[in-house]
Amino acid sequence: MKVKSFSISSKRYPNEDRMAIQNMGIYGIAIVLADGMGGLSLGDLAADVVTNTVADYLMKNYEGYAEKEVLHKALERADQEVRRVSIEKKSNMGAAVAVAIIIDYELYFTCREMSESMPNTKKRRSC
């Protein structure tokens, strides 16, 4: 499978979009898309942290089953990492993320907003 992407950048704002594609061998492919939140600082860094953390978590922990659980845990791990980096950088950063796992002809998809400014998960928006 080929995955092609493009981003349409604004002339006024830097591009804070990030994508990671993780080939998980017999377990399929994971695609992670993140967009740094406008209005918050270091959106590009937040998007990098989210894409890398989720892709790495899925590669190390996905075993071909329990997609909902592994996606949830990957997003929780990324949320913790955004929080850690935000504190380290003394910044209020965040990103919206969408994650898909494709196995054979099945697609598992989820998305969420992650931000140090929204530590209460009840305030987070999901898809």
Q: What is the pLDDT of residue 43?
A: 87
- Amino acid type, 124: R
Considering only residues 36 and 51, tell me which one the structure prediction assigns the higher pLDDT: 51
Tell me the domains of the chain and their CATH numbers.
Answer: 17-123 (3.60.40.10)
Q: What is the pLDDT of residue 120?
A: 47
Query: What are the distances in angstroms from CA 112 to CA 7, 8, 30, 64, 122?
Result: 20, 21, 16, 22, 12
Residues 110, 67: contact at Cβ < 8 Å? no
What pLDDT, in 10s, does the model give residues 79-123?
Answer: 999 999 999 999 888 899 999 999 888 999 999 987 655 544 444
Report whether pLDDT(18) > 70.
Answer: yes
Q: What is the pLDDT of residue 127?
A: 62
Q: What is the pLDDT of residue 15?
A: 76
Q: What is the pLDDT of residue 16?
A: 84
**DSSP helix/strand/coil, 66:** coil
Q: Whole-angstrom Cα distance, residue 98 to residue 20?
A: 11
Question: Residue 30 has which token pair?
Answer: 């994971």
The rounded mean pLDDT for the chain is 85
Residues 89, 53: contact at Cβ < 8 Å? no
Q: What is the pLDDT of residue 91?
A: 87
Summarize the confidence of residues 6-12 as an average pLDDT.
69
Residues 24, 58: contact at Cβ < 8 Å? yes
